[in-house]
Amino acid sequence: MAHRARRRYTVGIPLPVPDDVNPTATPYIAPHLAHWPARLPRTLEVPETSLWFNLEVSARRWPGKAAYVFLGRRHSFADLHTQAEALAGWLQAHGVNKGDRVLLYMQNSPQYVVAAYAILRADAVVVPVNPMNRADEFGHYITDPQAKVAITSADLAGIVAEADGRLAAENRLRHVVVTRYSDAMPAGDVDPAEAPSDAVLAWLRTEVSMPDDRFVRWTDALSAGLRPGPHTAQPDDLAVLPYTSGTTGLPKGCMHTHRTLMHNAVGGGVWGFSGAETVSLGVVPMFHITGFMYGVLSCVYGGATVVILPRWDRELAGRLLSRHQVTHWTCIPTMIIDLFGSPNYKTFDLKSLRYLSGGGAAMPHAVAERLRSEFGLTFAEGYGLTETAAPTHANPPERAKLQCLGMPIFGTDSRIVDPDRQTPLPIGETGEIVTNGPMVFKGYWGHPEATAAAFTEIDGKRFFRTGDLGRMDDEGYFFITDRLKRMINASGYKVWPSEVELLLFKCPLVQEACIIAAKDAYRGETVKAMIVLRAEARATAKPQDLIDWAHEHMAAYKVPRIVEFVDALPKSGSGKVMWRLLQEKEAAGS
């Protein structure tokens, strides 16, 4: 086994000021260090190896141990390793070379994890795609990263074929591997205690459709007996290209290397008391950076077992938490709220839970207090972005603050700065959160100007501009107050108005569209569309017509829940729609 060299990262900026800080600047003191948990080291020893090597090690250490449990069926680390090797061999035999981008488009499942590690084993780059995307959206993920191979599920193969068929011949996919979720399910009937609804079971058993000869069955690819060549990926090679949207244009790929992802894969377990004895509930979508980090990477590094839910189901989640004595659960607050809404929630056995964490939206104070009073659990909120491989901040569970982002984690230097001048602000004042750390991405794929705009230099160090407004208290904990970026947070799903607007302009009813956020008691925020109708549609169109169209052309969480028809949209002297004015009016009205 290869020797595992390590790199050390330090926490914050300790005094005296290190060499990489401008000696003429006022020394920056990280107040959170005074409250750093005594159980945690202040430095991390991070392997100088690839993410694939983590699976290789765990498969040797715990070959028969369950890496994943899917509807009652156990999948061992050895099984995971064997399947990933076989799929990697097939990928390489079909033209996937080092650095090539491979699309991964499916729901949470053992196949998702196998596919991710197979791509990494082939020295290629994982491109996770939201399985809620429709054909109108999916084409961008083929053309932008110049992908030639996709791995998907039976229920989504038709969307891949439709999106691909709209492209010019030179941009189209060469191969598509298609799996049935039932390939990873128990051979017979599913134990009722582990089973989702009949409708979900039917969906999981969707038959494979092969639109043309470029599509191949998952089982055929694995049984082909093809072996991959030597694994050559290095820590600074590109590993994963997750997409995120900004205030303008289409989604952009965030370039993450093995090294940027390794830091949080290691640190997550150290921070959250996790190890080989951990049993976690894998329900955060794996295409999302948080789900990928904790459901695909960190758990495999530490040898934990993940109980997978393919889709959120509060009753099934409650049963699985109880049956498998789950110890760790990373989720979004909406899931906790929904769990409390179950008429059976008091029967769920949560005594095994010892680490409950999450983010994506603020945990309501009343719900956090119920967790404490009824179950003795503290919800430890965290904060991060796709650009930062999930967390840059986290609350230590032994000293968590409610509705708080937490403190900067291992190796992270975060500041509050003036959004315009990028100069540091005093404790307690509101400004933009900027971050420097080993988990920060290397830039946006194919967008050097956007990359340059995303960073600023302070004290000779390169900081990522999060676009979020916040403040830091005198103990070094961070709190979010607003957003610079134009983004809607609906139950933890990030909805980017510009992307929804671009899709709505394809609707035959729409002349102009502006998307804003509306308050929602359950989702926190929801999507509202301000629509100027085309002349021929004004007499007959109804808001539901637009909602129905949107459901056919975009992911469900992006679909406007509220549609308001207006005669005109307010515009600036340069002709730009004044979305901020509409947003302010909406906020004042609610």
- 323 and 208 share one domain: yes
551 lies in some domain: yes
Instruction: Measure the CA–CA gap between 305 and 282, rounded to whole angstroms.
Output: 9
Q: What are phi and psi of 307, to 5 degrees?
A: -95, 115
- 293 and 252 share one domain: yes
- How far apart are the two ends of the chain, measured CA to CA in Å? 61
Note the pLDDT of residue 502: 84
Q: Looking at 398, 432, 467, which one is the last position of a domain?
A: 467
Nearest to 173 by CA among 189, 152, 204: 152
Question: Would the pLDDT of 13 be above 90?
Answer: no
Task: Look up residue 407 and give its amino acid.
Answer: M
Q: How many CB atoms are located within 10 Å of the residue 546 CB?
A: 23
Instruction: Measure the CA–CA gap between 282 and 119, rounded to whole angstroms.
Output: 21
149 lies in some domain: yes
Note the pLDDT of residue 20: 43
**Residue 142: pLDDT band by 50, 70, 90 thresholds?**
very high
Q: Looking at 467, 498, 523, which one is the last position of a domain?
A: 467
Q: What are phi and psi of 308, to 5 degrees?
A: -90, 135
Instruction: Measure the CA–CA gap between 500 and 194, rounded to whole angstroms.
Output: 37
Report pLDDT digits (tens) over 431-467.
999 999 999 999 999 999 999 999 999 999 999 999 9
19 lies in some domain: no
- 222 and 115 share one domain: yes
Scored b (16 or more CB within 10 A) or e, 47-76 reads bbbbbbbbbbbbbeebeebbbbbbbbbebb
- 423 and 549 share one domain: no
- 215 and 328 share one domain: yes
Q: Looking at 404, 435, 467, which one is the last position of a domain?
A: 467
Q: How many CB atoms are located within 10 Å of the residue 512 CB?
A: 17
> CATH number of the domain that 571 lies in?
3.30.300.30
- 421 and 510 share one domain: no
Task: Look up residue 58 and give its amino acid.
Answer: S
Report pLDDT digits (tens) over 245-258.
765 678 999 999 99
- 425 and 530 share one domain: no
- 431 and 525 share one domain: no
pTM of the model: 0.89
- 155 and 76 share one domain: yes
Kindly list the distances between the CA atom of residue 81 and the CA atoms of 27, 67, 128, 217, in Å, as whole numbers in the listed order: 48, 10, 20, 19
Kindly state the tokens that stand for 287: 């295409």
> CATH number of the domain that 80 lies in?
3.40.50.12780
Nearest to 104 by CA among 140, 131, 79: 131
Cis peptide bond prior to 391, omega within 30° of 0: no
- 433 and 562 share one domain: no
Report pLDDT digits (tens) over 160-197.
999 999 999 999 999 999 999 999 999 999 999 999 99
Mean pLDDT (the chain, rounded): 91
**Residue 208: pLDDT band by 50, 70, 90 thresholds?**
confident
- 424 and 547 share one domain: no
3-state secondary structure labels for all residues of 361-410 = CCCCHHHHHHHHHHHCCCEEEEEEEHHHCEEEEECCHHHCCCCCCEEECC
Average pLDDT over residues 200-211: 92
Split into its structural domains, the chain has a count of: 2
Residue range(s) defining the domain that contains residue 580: 488-589
